[in-house]
Amino acid sequence: MSKYLLIMRGTDESNAAMMANIEEMMVTTRQFIEETVKAGVLLAAEGLDDPGKGVVVDFSGETPVVTDGPYGETKELFGGFFMLDVASKQEAVEWAKRVPAAPGSKIEVRRVPESDEVPQVDA
């Protein structure tokens, strides 16, 4: 078993498609969340605000530079996530297929390593 983050990656087009059907999207998303809760796999889920309201903190130079969103050349934007506690990667993928995602968007499925898999530093 492992934790997986299902990262919602939308484009301008898919975000527009989602906003056009926002009420239906809210209903189907709520259904999906209920299903994951009843299956005992949902740990957290959040959606992000409009990328235009965000900022970017850029570490290219010596000091961090803050610029307003959206984010230049980036085509796919992180729009929200589901954190699942599942039996296998395949199960995470199976849940990802059931997310009511807008046409044209993508979901990235990434495993969260356990604490004993990452180097421990004494502080």
Residue count, binding to another protein (CB under 8 A): 23
Nearest 5 degrees, angle CA 20-CA 97-CA 11?
Answer: 40
Q: Considering the rule CB under 8 A, would residue 88 count as an interface residue with another protein?
A: yes
The nearer residue to another protein, 60 or 90, going by C-beta atoms, is 90
Burial environment of residue 28 by CB neighbours within 10 A (0 to 12, 13 to 18, 19 or more): middle
Q: Considering the rule CB under 8 A, would residue 118 count as an interface residue with another protein?
A: no
Angstrom CA distances, 49 to 26, 83, 103, stand at 14, 18, 19
Q: Considering the rule CB under 8 A, would residue 93 count as an interface residue with another protein?
A: yes
The nearer residue to another protein, 62 or 122, going by C-beta atoms, is 122
Structure tokens at 67: 């610029």
Q: Among 58, 87, 108, 111, which residue sits at the site for another protein (rule: CB under 8 A)? A: 87
Q: Among 95, 99, 102, 105, which residue sits at the site for another protein (rule: CB under 8 A)? A: 95
User: Do 32 and 99 meet the contact criterion of CB atoms below 8 Å apart?
Assistant: yes
The nearer residue to another protein, 40 or 61, going by C-beta atoms, is 40
Q: Which residues, 6+ apart, have CB-to-CB distance to 79 below 8 Å? A: 8, 9, 10, 15, 47, 48, 51, 105
Q: For the segment 23-82, give every residue that binds another protein (CB under 8 A).
A: 34, 37-41, 43
Q: By CB under 8 A, name the binding residues for another protein.
A: 1, 34, 37-41, 43, 85-91, 93-95, 114-116, 120, 123
